Structure 1
Amino acid sequence: MDIKLHGRKVLVTGGTRGIGRGIVLAAARAGADVLTCHRQEGEAVDSLVHALKETGGDHHVIRADVGEISEVDRLVGEAKERFGHLDGVVNNAGVISHIPFAELPAEEWTRIIDTNLTASYRIIQQSLPLLGNGSSLINIGSRGAAAGIPLRAHYTAAKAAMIGLTRSLAKELGPRGIRVNVVAPGVIETEAFDAMPAERAEALRATYAQKTALARLGTVKELAGPVLFLLSDLSGYVTGETVNVDGGI
């Protein structure tokens, strides 16, 4: 069954690379009009713009650093100006670093929390006037939020908080017909693997082949599928949930 999103207006943060890029392209190909953002110019931005032009629809790729509140507000303002309303929001933008907790600087804690959590709070809050009955909010979490990951206490804290935010908002916004869910990826193979030394990439694939029930890494397309489902009317009675897309890790 193909999921159709024709005419829907969707905002996706951090949509030029990796998981975000896959979500943007999948939503556009399903018929949605998509606005997404990026922090830095580069080939990934140019190639996404080209791909969206070939897809058809009313799509926009703009520069905005969601780690800054003022930039978040400007991004939502762009959505209002260009679309008038929103049917879906996917909070995907995120950053990560690997630092022992004893050495974790306060400014790095703040950077990770602001980009991975505070930006989602602000985008949802500022988007509320644009959302109506049947709208869907999706927060991209992490399977690591439940498992815990050494050297990533700041990151896993932000992603765990995302689950609490989602469950509270599902109850608060439910009477307005707005659904709120988390999609929590396991290890997804993105273009970042192409930038690694071949030996390291193969070692990672081998490691996760042993750790997952499906004996492999996930693909961006396999992560985008559940997101499209949650954006669509097929998930009209699903809210407050965390959907783990992790191959049975």
Structure 2
Amino acid sequence: MELSLKGKKALVTGGVRGVGRGLVLGLARAGVDVVTCYRRESEHVASLERELKEIGGEHSIIRADVSDPDQVTELIGECERLHGKLDVLVNNAGTISHIPYAELPFEEWNRMVATNLTSVHMVIQKSLPLLGEGSSVISIGSRSVEAGVKLRAHYTATKAALIGLNRSLAREFGERGIRFNILRLGVIETETLRDLPDDQRQAMISLYSKKSAFGRIGKATEAAGAVLWLASDLSSFVTGAVIPVDGGMS
């Protein structure tokens, strides 16, 4: 069985670095034309442009803060102008911080909710006119929801809320043939981990490798593999699900 994704159109939010970059490249290599966005200028933008050019296809990298309603409107408008539709929407943009709950500033709570939850709501709602039968909406969740990691109460709350949003939308839009699913990721190796000092990086890898059934942390290509499956018709009867991609850490 083949994925048959060539020529499909996708939007991946926050796809310039980290896991999102792996998702963008995975979709592009499968023949999908990808639009992605970023919030701050960096060397990662130019390097991703080069990689996508080498892969080939009609790809676009747009500066947009998805926590800003006006910029979300502009981003989705650009997707419509470029491709006229969206077959795949991946809500990957997000943020995290580690703060004791008793000391958590209200401003940081609001920032976390705006970036990790409200932005997903806005992107999905604005994208609805571009999503047709067979479209797949994928939101990136976190194992933190089950683990309850300390110092992340605000982050965990937003990721837990995504599950409720996902299930309700799956029910509401099932008759239109639009699927909504969440990938619950474990620890994935990205440049953020690779850029840590050697001792911190090795300590992190050792800690989380011990929690995995495979004795290692995940790769961005493995997260991309799950996205490709959900983007394809091979998952046509899967909706409202939370799918773990965590190496058996659950």
SS in 1 for 2:223: helix
Mapped to 1, the partners of 2:149 and 2:67 lie a distance apart of: 23
Gaps of at least 5 residues in structure 2 are none
SS in 2 for 1:134: strand
The residue that corresponds to 1:178 in the other structure is 178
SS in 2 for 1:141: strand
SS in 1 for 2:234: helix
Mapped to 2, the partners of 1:78 and 1:111 lie a distance apart of: 25
The residue that corresponds to 2:216 in the other structure is 216
SS in 1 for 2:154: helix
The residue that corresponds to 1:42 in the other structure is 42
Mapped to 1, the partners of 2:30 and 2:210 lie a distance apart of: 34
CA offset at residue 130 of structure 1?
A: 0.6
1:158-237 equivalences in 2 (<5 Å):
158-237=158-237
Residues 99-136 of structure 1: per-residue CA shift (max 9 Å, x gap)? 00111111110111111110110111010001110000
The residue that corresponds to 2:152 in the other structure is 152
CA offset at residue 72 of structure 1?
A: 1.3
The residue that corresponds to 1:52 in the other structure is 52
**2:22 is matched by which residue type in structure 1?**
G
**1:56 is matched by which residue type in structure 2?**
G
Asked if 1:28 is matched to 2:51, the reply is no
Mapped to 1, the partners of 2:146 and 2:67 lie a distance apart of: 24
Mapped to 2, the partners of 1:201 and 1:176 lie a distance apart of: 45
Mapped to 2, the partners of 1:100 and 1:115 lie a distance apart of: 20
SS in 2 for 1:74: helix
CA offset at residue 2 of structure 1?
A: 5.6
Mapped to 2, the partners of 1:146 and 1:242 lie a distance apart of: 12
Mapped to 2, the partners of 1:28 and 1:213 lie a distance apart of: 30
CA offset at residue 4 of structure 1?
A: 3.3
1:52-201 equivalences in 2 (<5 Å):
52-201=52-201
**What stretches of structure 1 move > 2 A for 4+ residues in a row?**
1-4
CA offset at residue 180 of structure 1?
A: 0.3
Asked if 1:11 is matched to 2:16, the reply is no
Residues 47-93 of structure 1: per-residue CA shift (max 9 Å, x gap)? 00111111111100010011212111111111111111110100000
Mapped to 1, the partners of 2:91 and 2:109 lie a distance apart of: 19
CA RMSD of aligned residues (A): 0.9
Mapped to 1, the partners of 2:63 and 2:191 lie a distance apart of: 21
Aligned length: 249
Gaps of at least 5 residues in structure 1 are none
Mapped to 2, the partners of 1:22 and 1:8 lie a distance apart of: 18
**1:123 is matched by which residue type in structure 2?**
V
**1:209 is matched by which residue type in structure 2?**
S
**2:108 is matched by which residue type in structure 1?**
E
**1:53 is matched by which residue type in structure 2?**
K
- Percentage of identical aligned residues: 57
Residues 127-175 of structure 1: per-residue CA shift (max 9 Å, x gap)? 0001110000000010111221111111100000001100000000000
Mapped to 1, the partners of 2:135 and 2:216 lie a distance apart of: 34
* TM-score, structure 1 as length reference: 0.98
After alignment, is 154-163 or 67-76 more displaced?
A: 67-76
